Structure 1
C-alpha cells in the first residue's frame, strides 16, 4: 500500500465530507426561505406566462375590431402571447438554475 495514495484518498474524503456538511448547514439555515421561495417561483412563472397571454388576447381583440379578417386575430395573438410567455419563463428558470449551480460550486 502506498502511503501517498492513502493520504490523497483521506484528503479527498475529508473535502467531500466538508462540502456536504457546508451544504447541509446552509440548507438548515435557509429551510423556511426555500418553502416561500418555491411558492414565489410558481408565482413568477405563472405571471410570466399569464400576462403576455392576456395582453396578446386583448391585442387580438382590438385587431379583430379594427381589421376584420377571416383569420381570428384574437386566437393568433393569444398563441403568440402564450409562446412569448413560455420563452420568458424558460429564460427566467434557466437563470435561476445557473445561479443555484454557481452557488453550489462556490461552496465546494
Structure 2
C-alpha cells in the first residue's frame, strides 16, 4: 500500500469523524467510538467508490449525441390531478354522500 493511499484514507477518516463530532450534541467515550467506527466505514466506502469511478470511461457518463434525423422530443400529455387520472365527477362520491349530514 502506498503512503498516498494511507494519507488519503486518514484525511477521509479525520474529516468524517470531525463532522460527526460537530453534529452530535454530547461527546462522550461511547459517542466518540461510534463516530470513529462510522467514519471508518465511510472512509472505506469513499475509497471503494473512488476506485470504481477511476475505472469507468468518461464517455459512459456523457450522453451520446442524437443523430441528425432523430425526431424532436414531444411533451407528454398532462393527466388530471385526481386519483387514478379520472376527471372529477360533478356528483359527490358515495363516501362523501354518506358522511354529509342531510338537512
TM-score for both structures, normalised by structure 1: 0.37
Structure with bigger RCO (C-alpha 8 Å, 6+ apart):
1
Q: Which has the higher helix share?
A: 1
Which protein shows a greater Rg? 2
| TM-score, structure 2 normalization | 0.39
